[in-house]
Amino acid sequence: MRELGGVGSVCLRCRFKLLVTTRARARRGISTSSTAAIVRNRDSGAHLQNDGQATPAMPITPGGLANDPTMTPPRVPRSSIPGRRSSSVAMFQSIVENQTKIPSSLGSQASGTASIELVKDVARIQTIMERDGATLAEAYAYFEENVYPQIIKNGAGVPQIVKNQIATVLLDRLALLKPRDFESSRLPSVTRITEVMIELDVLRPSAWATLVIELIQHIYRQKTVPGAYDSVKDYETAMALRDALLHDLLGAWRVFCAQRVSSNNNFSRSPQTNQLKTKSSRPGAEPQQQNTLQNAFGAMFPQYLVPSLLRPTFAAFATYKLLTDPLNRSRSTEGEAVPFLQMMKGLIPQARPPSRKDFEPIFNTFPDLPRFVWPKKQVKDVSNSVLNAASVFGDKSDPKRVSVHRQLGDAINRRNLSMVNQAWLEFWGDAVTPDDARISELAKRSEMFDYFIMAYTMMRRPQQAIEVWTSMERVGIKATIKTWNSMLQGCAKANNAQGIKTVWDKLTKSGMKLDIAIWTARIHGLFLCGEASAGIRALDEMVKVWAARENPQYAALAVQPTVEPVNAALAGLLRLKRSGDAMKVLAWASKQGINPDIYTFNTLLRPLVRRGDMEAIDEIFATMQSINIRADVATFTVLLEGTLNHIGDLPPTQQVAIVERILDAMQSSGIEINMQTYAKILHLLLREGDRAGEPVKAVLAHIWCRGLDLTSHIYTMLAEHYFSRDPPDTVAVTALIENRRLHENKAIDRVFWERMIKGYCQAGETRRALEIFDRVFVPGTMITFGTLYELLRPLVVAGDAEAAVRVVEAARKIGRADDDAVPKWRGSHGDVGEGKRYWKHRFWHLAYEHGLMGEQLAERFREANL
């Protein structure tokens, strides 16, 4: 009988039984060094150098780390493999090939059979590692391609000895090598290592936790200071990679915690815990030490002995601290972290608060971790103080109202009369006189009538505005002061000063009680129309009418003057560059007892900032302070526009100092910095190009430190900044998309992806643009024909007819006009059309010219363009 590893003569049957017993103990954290030596020959293990080459390993006993949680992981020597160790491979093959001869009485651990091919493939992993210049990445790739599929196929039929050999040859080495390069794409993630270990029933808690702690330490050590990176791209890429590491950490815990005994937070206490509690409750007994976190953690995982769970317990606590630290957590992992945080929040109260002393042995190996897990200064959590952007369309519980409001808003912005008419038809309906149900709906949306009146008035369609007014009264909705205000605003937007005077005359004769808003609208409108003198007279008239308010003739017209109409006059005068008259209006208002507000000072600041009059700006702020008026967001927006203009001319350190000073000033003023403010700052900075790279990084760091996510708008600005370089930096754009996993981010809007398609096409990387089109838009997301044209043109030039035809076919279903929101109709073929104008776009002309349409589609194109 052959001898094995220096152990005395043992028959094959007994040898196999001994191996199985050893492995069973190893999985439960029991050290059996004498039997472990049989399974893991001192010379059979191998670690890797930083370049991924195999080197001989220190012996790793199955129960060593599990039995001694304080044990320091063995240092990895850098020498090369001294030669082939085919004897160990042959030994393994011999044992497994003869396993079918073992009687079933040896227990379940010895049950199961494996194909000869699987045994040979497992042995080949060792052979691969023994080759000169071998890398662990090659061995792992062979495992995933050849061994793992067989394990899945055979299931319970794979003997534990085969699984243990995989752990010895591959998984243990991966756990030791991974910390040297957590970002490696050739080595499996920590999550994947954990999955395979648990699936093969070879996870040793302490050794696995060492890998997790290494990952936590690596995340903590990531530099988050923008100055540590040379460019915005480098900084953003580093932060994205850090998020990826957090995803991997959470993935590993998700897999590990799937083993726990309960899926809820009411965890059962361990027997040791109950015993301690019983003893301490006896009268006269000395108080026992409260349950430790390690014991509470062990109660969740009874398959492992509590002494082997020191490192996993610390890893769990350190992960909890990392995820709840406002300076280190990431918004991108918040949802994924919820299950783990819920588990820990249910677990921690079951034990006394963890202290450094509880985990002191671990810090001999990881001396940096205590300062991260138990920081001296606690940072205030600012994550709950984020301001959400106000809804543009108000109550979104009324889809009909939202739809019409959006259409009308687009029509006003584009000054498109046909769009207003179409929106009115959708709002009012086809019938001349609506039925009772429709009237009831219209009554709930009465403010929409005012909006339509303003739209028609600004397009100089007074007759249609009157028809809306008449329709409103026909269904029992009375005009209000807001209705008159809408007409005044419409006249102002139409630059129709005579219209303002006409509306005002009719209003004053109607007997309607006026308010401050209607007076302000009149004054503001006259200044917008360039009628400054008329605006000043209207302001003076307001004061005189108020003074004569006792006269019944003026009772309905009289409104006490306030700062709002004064501000309207100031803004109008400064816009017309009549600053002298503006100061006279301020002096006049003071005599009337009208005090300025923050809007007054913001109005005065704007031209001063624009021309860089720092002395006058300082005087404004001194005046504000003297009357206890605090700056608001608008104040700082004005300052930002002036201060950040041409900031690229300054040295980088001065640029950063200015931006940080502005941000600090806003916070000290009690102003919440929301994402719109950040976007404004970044827009102004990116306008300077790469010259403002340092302050851009500072702003991104400010966002990241608050645990906030970049918005789709900010991502768009960053990507367009990279595209604007000469030559376009498409590598940076791709890194931004992939590192931030933007394809998985549901908050990224259509505009971003359209800009990416155009940018890639203009940079000559049509293939990447086509990939985005297939992934984002082909499933059904609408896309403008302008973007489709930018994509189709390079495909035609390149002669890629197959891709071009595919784009044209998809365009018929998802294309929409660029700057024409004519309501869509659904054609007989189920696709979406937009009338003749739909077919006028140059995209269809390009497709038709190159024969990319089918005969039916081409016929419809010809009909529309007759």
Strand 783-784 versus strand 815-816 pairing type = parallel
Question: Which pLDDT score is estimated for 262?
Answer: 53
Last residue of one domain, picked from the residues 167, 185, 203: 203
In a domain, 709, yes or no: no
Q: Which residue has the tokens 């090598």?
A: 177
Residues 66 and 26: beta-carbon distance below 8 Å: yes
Residues 75 and 58: beta-carbon distance below 8 Å: yes
Label residue 498 exposed, middle or buried (CB < 10 Å: 0-12, 13-18, 19+).
exposed
Residues 172 and 238 in one domain: no
Give whole-number Cα distances, 827 to 210, 655, 859, in Å.
Answer: 63, 57, 14
Helices 417-428 and 447-458: crossing angle in degrees, nearest 10, is 160
* Residues in contact with 672: Cβ distance below 8 Å, sequence separation at least 6, in sequence order: 385, 386, 387
Residues 138 and 189 in one domain: yes
Residues 150 and 46 in one domain: yes
Compute the CA torsion angle 458, 462, 465, 470 (nearest 10 deg).
160
In a domain, 819, yes or no: yes
Residues 216 and 346 in one domain: yes
CA distance 695 to 697: 5
Residues 53 and 199 in one domain: yes
Two tokens, residue 147: 């061994």
CA distance 150 to 114: 9
Question: Which pLDDT score is estimated for 350?
Answer: 86
In a domain, 697, yes or no: no
Residues 243 and 320 in one domain: yes
How is 635-694 classified by DSSP, letter by letter? Answer: HHHHHHHHHSTTGGGS-HHHHHHHHHHHHHHHHHTT----HHHHHHHHHHHHTTGGGGHH
Residues 297 and 173 in one domain: no
Quote the number of domains for the chain.
3
Residues 700 and 232: beta-carbon distance below 8 Å: yes
Nearest in space to 608 (alpha carbons), one of 632, 634, 643, 655: 643
Strand 54-56 versus strand 783-784 pairing type = unpaired
The helix or strand, by DSSP H or E, that contains position 38, with its residue range, turns out to be helix 33-39
Handedness of CA 510, 513, 519, 520 (dihedral sign): negative
Nearest in space to 409 (alpha carbons), one of 350, 449, 455: 455
In a domain, 264, yes or no: yes
CA distance 600 to 587: 13
Residues 48 and 194 in one domain: yes
Give whole-number Cα distances, 698 to 449, 634, 646, 653, 694, in Å.
Answer: 47, 22, 17, 11, 6
In a domain, 72, yes or no: yes
The helix or strand, by DSSP H or E, that contains position 783, with its residue range, turns out to be strand 783-784
DSSP 7: B
Residues 175 and 243 in one domain: no
Residues 323 and 337: beta-carbon distance below 8 Å: yes
The helix or strand, by DSSP H or E, that contains position 54, with its residue range, turns out to be strand 54-56
CA distance 191 to 203: 13
Residues present in the chain in total: 866
Nearest in space to 218 (alpha carbons), one of 376, 366, 323: 366
How crowded is residue 6: how many other Cβ atoms within 10 Å of its Cβ? 9
CA distance 430 to 64: 83
Last residue of one domain, picked from the residues 338, 353, 374: 374
Residues 188 and 241 in one domain: no
Give whole-number Cα distances, 219 to 107, 163, 402, in Å.
Answer: 44, 31, 45
Last residue of one domain, picked from the residues 352, 374, 396: 374
Nearest in space to 661 (alpha carbons), one of 588, 669, 412: 669
First-residue to last-residue Cα distance in the chain: 96
How crowded is residue 588: how many other Cβ atoms within 10 Å of its Cβ? 16
How is 91-156 classified by DSSP, letter by letter? Answer: HHHHHHHTGGGS-GGG-GGG-----HHHHHHHHHHHHHHTSTT-BHHHHHHHIIIIIHHHHHHHGG
CATH of the domain at 759: 1.25.40
How crowded is residue 534: how many other Cβ atoms within 10 Å of its Cβ? 18
Q: Which residues pair with 816 in a beta bridge?
A: 784
Nearest in space to 19 (alpha carbons), one of 142, 168, 128: 168
Residues 760 and 825 in one domain: yes
Averaged pLDDT in 10-residue chunks for the chain of 866 residues: 38 41 43 34 37 38 36 38 45 50 40 68 84 83 89 82 87 88 87 92 91 90 77 80 88 91 43 39 44 89 89 91 75 78 88 85 81 62 29 47 82 88 88 84 88 93 92 90 94 94 94 94 94 93 94 93 93 88 89 91 85 79 85 82 81 87 80 86 89 90 83 93 93 91 89 95 95 92 92 94 93 74 40 61 92 89 84
CA distance 467 to 298: 77
Label residue 348 exposed, middle or buried (CB < 10 Å: 0-12, 13-18, 19+).
middle
Domain extent, residue 812, equals 751-864
In a domain, 652, yes or no: no
Question: Which pLDDT score is estimated for 93?
Answer: 54
Two tokens, residue 375: 């920081």
CA distance 271 to 116: 45
In a domain, 119, yes or no: yes
Residues 219 and 343 in one domain: yes
Encoded amino acid at 128, one letter:
I
In a domain, 723, yes or no: no
Helices 842-849 and 855-864: crossing angle in degrees, nearest 10, is 130
Nearest in space to 723 (alpha carbons), one of 707, 710, 739, 734: 734
